[in-house]
Structure 1
Amino acid sequence: MALSKEEKDFLIREISRELDAKPDGAGKNLISKCPFCGKEKKFGVYIGKETSRKKPFMAHCFSCMHSTYTLEQLLESIERPDLAVTPTVDLDAKLDDTLLFPLGEEEEAIDDTLGIIELPDFYQRCFTDNYLRSRGFTYDDFDYFPAGTTRRLNYKFDSYVIFPVIDDGDVVGYVSRHIWTKDEIDRHNAGIRRKGGYRITRFRNSTENDFVKLLYNYDSVIEEETDTVIVVEGVFDVVALTRKLNLYDNNQITVVATFGKKISRAQIYKLQSKGVRTIVLGYDGDAVEAIKKAADEMNPYFDIFIADIEDASKDWEELDFKEIYNIFSERLKTPIEYKLTKLQESK
C-alpha cells in the first residue's frame, strides 16, 4: 500500500533525526553516516518519487556496499522498527544500483580520499605579479585566490605562476601556468628540436591526487549555506567571474572549476555533500557536446541551468560585465532549452 504524504513526511523527519542525515542538493536522498560501516556521508536513503527502478526508503552505502530494499529493512537496520507504517517486506527485490548516480554506471564506492601535498620547492605566495596583472588580476584577486612563484629558485618552475588547490584548508594539488603564450611556447619547442634544450609545457601540475577528485575554489562552497554554484573549466575562469560578478565572500553563490570540460562522479558527490541545490554550467561556448553531457550527468541531483555564451570565441576572461550580465539575465537555459536552441542553430 502506498504511503500518504503525511506518512512519508513523518518517516523522513524521523529517519533524518535518527541518522543525523541531511538531504542532498536535489532533495532526493538523505545522506548520513553509514549504520553498517560507520563511514561519514556515504549512506544514501532515497526519498524521491517512486519510479520503475527506485522506491522510497531504499538505501545503499557507497563505502561498504550494504543495501536495504524496503522501508522495513531500513528501519530494522537503524533499530527503529517502531516507525513501520506497513508490514510489507520484499526480500526478493533486486538491488537498485542507481540510488545516487545515473543508470548504467558501474556500482562502486566513490573514492574521494585526498592526500595533503607539498607545493614546489621555493614556492612563495605573491600579492603582485606582472603576468597576472596582465590577465586582469586586482588586489582583491591576489588576496582571495592564493598564487605564487618559485622566484627562479626552482628551474622546473621558472616563468610559471602556481595556484594551490585547497580542500578543507589543506593543499591537495596545484596548477602551474607558464607565462608565455601558446604561440611563444610552440616556437620555443620547435627551436629546441633543432638545437637541443629544455622543452616547455604550458601547464605543469601536481600528480599526487587525481584531478577528477578536485574542484578549484571548493572551500568557498559553504555547507548548507551555498545554494548556487557556477561550474567553469579553469582557474582563470573562476577568478574572472568572481571579480566581474563581485562574488568575493558571497556564501550563497560561488564559482568552482572542474579543470576541463567534464565533471566526475566524485566532483558531483563533493558538491552534493555540501547541500548545493542549483548548478549553473558555465563551460566555454564552443563546448556544446561537453555541456550537454555534463548537464545530463548532473541533472538528477541538482537544478541545472546552462549559461549559454552567445559568442563562442570568448571565455569569461574576455567577456565584459555587460555581456556577462546579459548571459545571466537573458541566456540561462535548462538542459532541454539548451539542446533545442543548439538544434535550431545547427539548421
Structure 2
Amino acid sequence: MYLSKEEKNHIIQELIVELHAKPDGSGKNLIVPTCPYCGREGGKFGIYIGVETERKKPFMAHCFKCGHSTLTLEQLLTDIGRTDLIIADTFDLDGDKNLNAFSFLDDDDKEIDDSLCIVDMPDGYKRTYFNKYLKQRGFIEEDYDCFPVGTTRHMNFKYDDYVIFPIIDAGDIVGYISRHIWSKQEIDEYNRRAKHNGKFQIMRYKNSTENDFVKLLYNYDMVIEDITDTVIIVEGIFDVIALTRKLNLYHNHLIAVVATFGKKISDVQIYKLQAKGVKTIVIGYDGDAVDAIKKTGEQLNEYFDVYVADIEDPTQDFDSLDFWDIYDTFAFGLKTLTEYKLNKIQL
C-alpha cells in the first residue's frame, strides 16, 4: 500500500497519541511504553517508521517481551482498535512471519533481556577521594566526584593493590571493575617469575560476575533521557574519565561518554542507548581498532547518526592523548562511517 508523506505522518502522530509512544533517537522507530498485546511495561514494544528497505516495511511492529510481531499497518491498526485510520487494504507480499521491527533481531524472534541484579561491592570496599595510582593517571578532584572509585584498604587481601570502580545503572550498583595498580609490564614480569616459583598469578583485572557485561555501559546514568543528544562510546573506564576531563564534559548533559568494555557493542547496549533518545553516536575506540570500528559502526548506523573519532596513531587512545591531540581528533578527524571506511581501504 502506498502512503503519501502526509498520510504517513498523520498515522504516526495518531499512533503517538493512541499508544503514548515517542520516537527513538534515530527517528526510525516509535517506542511504546506498554505492549498492547502482553501489557508489559518498559518500552519493549517498537513500531518501525523509517523508510522501506528489503527487510523492513513501515509500521511493522514487535514486542521484545512477548515476541508478538505484526507485519502490516492494517494488522497493527486492527489490533489496537484504530481501523478508522486504515486508508486502503494492505497485503504482505512476502508472507514472512519471522520478520521483526528491529533489524538487530536478525531472523531470530528473540527477546532483548536487559534485566540486571544489584551487585555487592567486595568486602572492605570504601570510596576514596585520593589515590596515588590514580593521581599518576591524571585524576583531579572532579574525577573523584563524578566517577566513584575506592579500595578495600587492605581489609580484603584478594583486592590488595586494586582500585575498584562501581558500574551504576539507574542509581544501582550492577557491577564493578577492579584494576591492579601495577602496569601490564610489571604484572607480566611478576607472573613470569611466579609461574616458575609456583606462586599465585596476579590478575590485571578482577571484575564482578553477577551481570553479563554485554548488558552494561559504564557512565550510563550520565546519559539523560531525551536530553543527551550525543554519546561518545569508548572501550574502557579510563578512556571515559580521561575524555570527560580533557573536554570538560562533567556537567554537559548534551554530550556523554560511555564505555562498552571492549571493541564491541551488544544488542542490549544499543537498546539501552536507543531507549534514552540518543540521536548521535561517535565511536571513539583505540586507533588500532579499524575492523572493530567498521563492524560496530554498521550495527549502530541503523539506529543513530554515526561518526568516528579517527585517532590516527594506532598505538594511542583517549587516555594517552593530550588535550590538543584530542581537539585535533574531534575538529579534523571526525568522519562519517562511509568516510572512515574509504579512508581505511588497504591499497
* TM-score range relative to shorter protein: over 0.9
Question: Are residues 1:335 and 2:337 paired?
Answer: yes
> Quick one: structure 1 residues 90 and 337, their matched pair in 2 at CA, closer, same or farther if it must change by over 3 Å?
closer
Write the distance in 2 (CA, Å) between the matches of 1:92 and 1:267.
31
State the partner residue of 1:267.
Answer: 269
Contact 1:281 1:291 in 2 (8 A): yes
Q: CA deviation at 1:96?
A: 5.2
Write the distance in 2 (CA, Å) between the matches of 1:41 and 1:80.
21
Q: CA deviation at 1:94?
A: 1.8
Greater Cα offset, 77-86 or 4-13: 77-86
Write the distance in 1 (CA, Å) between the matches of 2:142 and 2:107.
42
What amino acid is the match of 1:26?
S
Q: CA deviation at 1:205?
A: 0.2
Question: How large is the Cα RMSD of the aligned pairs?
Answer: 1.4
Matches within 5 A, 1:152-301: 152-301=154-303
Contact 1:237 1:316 in 2 (8 A): yes
Q: CA deviation at 1:320?
A: 1.1
What amino acid is the match of 1:57?
F
Q: CA deviation at 1:61?
A: 0.9
Matches within 5 A, 1:95-110: 95=97, 97-102=99-104, 104=106, 106-110=108-112
Question: Are residues 1:6 and 2:6 paired?
Answer: yes
Contact 2:71 2:99 in 1 (8 A): no
> Quick one: structure 1 residues 103 and 62, their matched pair in 2 at CA, closer, same or farther if it must change by over 3 Å?
closer
Between the two proteins, the alignment pairs up a number of residues equal to 345
Q: CA deviation at 1:105?
A: 5.2
Deviations 1:212-232 (Å, cap 9, x if unpaired)?
000000000000001100000
What amino acid is the match of 2:38?
C
What amino acid is the match of 2:161?
S
State the partner residue of 1:148.
Answer: 150
What amino acid is the match of 1:313?
T
> Quick one: structure 1 residues 98 and 298, their matched pair in 2 at CA, closer, same or farther if it must change by over 3 Å?
farther
Question: TM-score normalized by structure 2?
Answer: 0.96
Question: Are residues 1:120 and 2:122 paired?
Answer: yes
Deviations 1:274-294 (Å, cap 9, x if unpaired)?
010100000000011111110
Q: Which runs of 5+ in 2 are unaligned?
A: none
Write the distance in 1 (CA, Å) between the matches of 2:52 and 2:66.
25
Write the distance in 2 (CA, Å) between the matches of 1:215 and 1:103.
20
Q: CA deviation at 1:197?
A: 2.5
Contact 1:281 1:306 in 2 (8 A): yes
What amino acid is the match of 1:276?
V
**Partner SS for 2:81:** coil
**Partner SS for 2:96:** coil
Contact 1:279 1:303 in 2 (8 A): yes
State the partner residue of 2:66.
Answer: 64
Write the distance in 1 (CA, Å) between the matches of 2:340 and 2:94.
41
**Partner SS for 2:205:** coil
> Which of residues 315, 318, 324 is equivalent to 2:317?
315
Q: Which runs of 5+ in 1 are unaligned?
A: none
Question: TM-score normalized by structure 1?
Answer: 0.96
Contact 1:73 1:89 in 2 (8 A): no
Contact 1:54 1:96 in 2 (8 A): no
Q: Percent identity?
A: 61
Contact 1:53 1:96 in 2 (8 A): no
Q: CA deviation at 1:194?
A: 2.4
